[in-house]
Amino acid sequence: MKADRDLIIIGGGPAGLSAAQYGARGNLSVLVIEEMATGGQALLIDDLENYPGFPEPIKGFDISQKMEQQAANFGAEITYASVSSVKKEGDIFIVKTDREELKALSVIIATGAQHRNLEIPGEKEFTGRGVSYCATCDGPFFKDQKMLVVGGGDAACDEAMYLSNLTDKVIMIHRRDRFRAQKALAERVLKNPHIEVRFNHEIKEITGSQKVEKVRLYKNNEDKEYEEDMAAVFVFIGSIPQVSMVSGVEGVKFDESGSIITDQRMETGIKGLYAAGDVRSTPFRQVVVAAGEGAIAAHSASQYIDELRGQAYK
């Protein structure tokens, strides 16, 4: 059985595009399979201000485009399809998509994660009508109106800061008594006069007629519920790793959150199969981290392929 490519990368976010660049630059034939649009979660970032080499904030869309172009300049190919399974037969990986079946010597899983839902009454019903998971996408529709941000991590703080440019009525709730976001980001939110932070708060229900009109909130340290008028609810409470294509594969292990466990070379329990970015079990999810992990995964894959070909440096 012959491989179609040396390296197949599943996912075209920062981890996948970084891996594609390093793999192609290392003279591997590289194919990136992306389901939606290259850039992944980075596309949702309004101003990326902490990526090395960019002293001024850069749009998530812009840096995604630059990463894609850079990978393409080195010879990486990008195709759009949905991957349903990955399995290894002998030394060949078989990647099944909704369009075709592809074979590679090595595979990198860089599929990222999708937003986690609140699972409360009204959330599903009002999604797209006031409930959103992307402030930069939908925030402008609610300019000068009262908006609720749910969450306490980096993403929630980032998005609350963005929304505070659109209105002076941002309410931010978090179920714990302090943020889990980076300290500098959390302090910026707390000092923002357009953001009212309410700790020890949860959202229990979203109501309205044709669109979001009210929310029912719960103050958990006082066991108190109350209703409040609200025009929009933005949800940022974590993410779910996209691992369905390898969920039943023997040798691939997952942590308690469902993320893929790897060693420091980004290798899973299967030789030649790697994971990088938000899909991987990692203590810190940032664009720069994903890019670094993608580079490591591609380097490791290149070494593995050299070993397969008997060309490993000794």
- Residues annotated catalytic, as ranges: 134, 137-138
Q: Is the CB of residue 203 less than 8 Å from the CB of residue 233?
A: yes
DSSP assignment of 105-130 equals EEEEE---EEEPP---TTTTTTBTTT
| Spatial separation of the C-alpha atoms in residues 203 and 174, rounded to whole Å | 9
Note whether 272 and 112 are within 8 A (CB). no
Cα of first residue to Cα of last residue in the chain, in angstroms, is 28
Q: Considering only CA atoms, which of 64, 88, 60, 93 is closest in space to residue 78?
A: 64
Which tokens sit at 119?
A: 């699972």
Q: How far apart are CA 270 and CA 251, in angstroms?
A: 6
How many Cα atoms occupy the beta-carbon half-sphere of 294 within 13 Å? 33
Exposed/middle/buried for residue 250 (C-beta within 10 Å: 0-12, 13-18, 19+)? exposed
Angle between helices 14-25 and 287-308 in degrees, nearest 10: 40
